[in-house]
């Protein structure tokens, strides 16, 4: 080949590239006109805890609502409320009612439009053959918990049962459950859907004794769906569409859990299948319990939330000034017929 023809080839390639690029750009504009771009920030890495969102995306439920949804995973030190408040993400699955109240208290313009687990998603767990049989036995023993909200549930239980908090050695809990398994701590905190399943697998189903905050009248609903005040005010149809598709996704996931786990595992192939199946089963139980039976999935129970706010204000985590009615809004959910929300 001569040098001249090389040059022509190069010019030709450039033209082809430019053409391709402009074509992609045109296509993208066309797509943008037909569907709205939006993103959802999760509170942790992909797992069956979020199956409903992944199923809704895989089945095209968001597309049906005209939403081109990107699901962004979370991780340690990723604060969903901040990313939604700053506009980096349209929607977010945040820690829980407690983190939404704290964010509102600090002036972040985020609103919860749904709460995933209707009951507290964590328990305090101890070994059945260990020294602890009642909450009173916590005194003089080592209890590890998350100092990111769960600790206040613990404080409240101890107060409810008349145990002096200073008598209990309360330690911050690490990510790993090894210190509890080894016996370095007597009581640990575990989510129903994750750590507890790990412990049941390692120590045996009957080897554990559980203390659930809900049994002591303390309910921390968790997995809060949040959106910015601006999005809620200016794009109510986007918010309602997102909720409709999400509800469909969860109902589909509950109806066919095997398929749902398949979809999640396509996103994160290294996950342990058995663990994910059990996680989804626990999520179904936590999401369909309590007020959900009457009001449907993601319901925001006003009385529960007021009680939680009182508790957090008592421990000076937040000020009393957060308006629960403004922080947790049921309007988008109520725009969807009840039968579409019922599990």
What minimum distance in Å lies between the beta carbon of 77 and other proteins?
6
Q: What is the DSSP string of 245-259?
A: HHHHHHHHHHH-HHH
Residue closer to other proteins (CB basis): 292 or 311: 311
Give 226 or 243: the residue with its C-beta nearer to other proteins: 226
Which lies closer to other proteins via its Cβ, residue 95 or residue 296?
A: 95
Output 70 or 176, the one with its CB closest to other proteins. Answer: 176
Rounded-to-integer distance, Cα 308 and Cα 81, Å = 19
Q: Measured on CA atoms in the order 42, 47, 49, 51, is the torsion positive or negative?
A: positive
Rounded to an integer, what distance in angstroms lies between the CA atom of residue 151 and that of residue 303?
Answer: 21
User: Which residues of the shown chain bind other proteins in the complex (CB under 8 A)?
Assistant: 77, 79, 81-82, 85-86, 95, 99, 102-103, 105-109, 147-149, 171-176, 178-179, 184, 317
Least separation, in Å, of the C-beta of 203 and other proteins?
Answer: 18
**Minimum distance of other proteins from residue 94's CB (angstroms):** 10
- Shortest reach from residue 145's CB to other proteins, in Å: 12
List, in sequence order, every residue forming a beta bridge with 328; answer none if it has no partner. 112
Of residues 15 and 315, the one with the C-beta less far from other proteins? 315
- How far is 216 from 90, CA to CA, in rounded Å? 36
Shortest Å distance, C-beta 302 to other proteins: 22
Q: Where are the alpha helices (DSSP H) in the chain?
A: 3-34, 51-58, 61-64, 80-85, 97-105, 150-160, 178-182, 195-203, 229-234, 236-255, 257-267, 273-288, 292-295, 302-314, 324-327, 331-334, 338-341
* Min dist. Cβ of residue 253 to other proteins (A): 28
Cα separation, 289 vs 295, in Å, equals 11
Q: Is 107 or 162 the residue whose CB approaches other proteins more closely?
A: 107
């Amino acid at each position: 080949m001569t040098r001249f023809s090389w040059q022509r080839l190069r010019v030709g390639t450039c033209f082809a590239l430019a053409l391709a690029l402009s074509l992609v750009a045109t296509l993208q504009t066309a797509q943008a006109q037909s569907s709205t771009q939006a993103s959802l920030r999760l509170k942790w890495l992909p797992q069956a805890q979020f199956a409903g969102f992944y199923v809704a995306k895989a089945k095209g439920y968001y597309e049906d609502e005209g939403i081109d949804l990107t699901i962004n995973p979370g991780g340690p030190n990723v604060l969903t409320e901040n990313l939604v408040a700053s506009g980096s993400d349209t929607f977010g699955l945040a820690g829980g009612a407690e983190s939404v109240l704290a964010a509102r208290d600090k002036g972040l313009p985020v609103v919860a439009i749904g709460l995933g687990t209707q009951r507290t998603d964590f328990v305090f767990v101890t070994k059945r053959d260990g020294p602890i049989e009642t909450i009173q036995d916590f005194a003089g023993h080592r209890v590890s918990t998350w100092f990111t909200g769960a600790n206040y549930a613990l404080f409240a239980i101890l107060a409810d049962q008349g145990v002096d908090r200073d008598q209990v050695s309360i330690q911050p809990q690490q990510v790993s459950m090894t210190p509890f398994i080894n016996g370095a701590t007597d009581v640990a905190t575990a989510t129903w859907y994750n750590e507890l399943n790990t412990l049941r697998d390692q120590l045996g189903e009957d080897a554990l004794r559980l203390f659930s905050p809900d049994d002591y009248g303390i309910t921390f609903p968790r997995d809060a769906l949040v959106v910015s005040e601006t999005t809620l005010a200016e794009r109510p149809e986007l918010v309602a569409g997102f909720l409709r598709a999400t509800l469909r996704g969860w109902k589909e996931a509950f109806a066919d859990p095997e398929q749902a786990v398949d979809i999640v595992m396509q996103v994160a192939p290294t996950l342990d299948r058995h663990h994910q199946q059990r996680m989804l089963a626990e999520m179904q139980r936590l999401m369909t319990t309590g007020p959900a039976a009457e009001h449907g999935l993601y319901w925001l129970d006003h009385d529960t939330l007021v009680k939680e706010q009182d508790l957090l204000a008592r421990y000076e985590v937040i000020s009393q000034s957060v308006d629960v009615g403004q922080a947790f809004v049921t309007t988008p959910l109520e725009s969807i017929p009840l039968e579409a929300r019922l599990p």
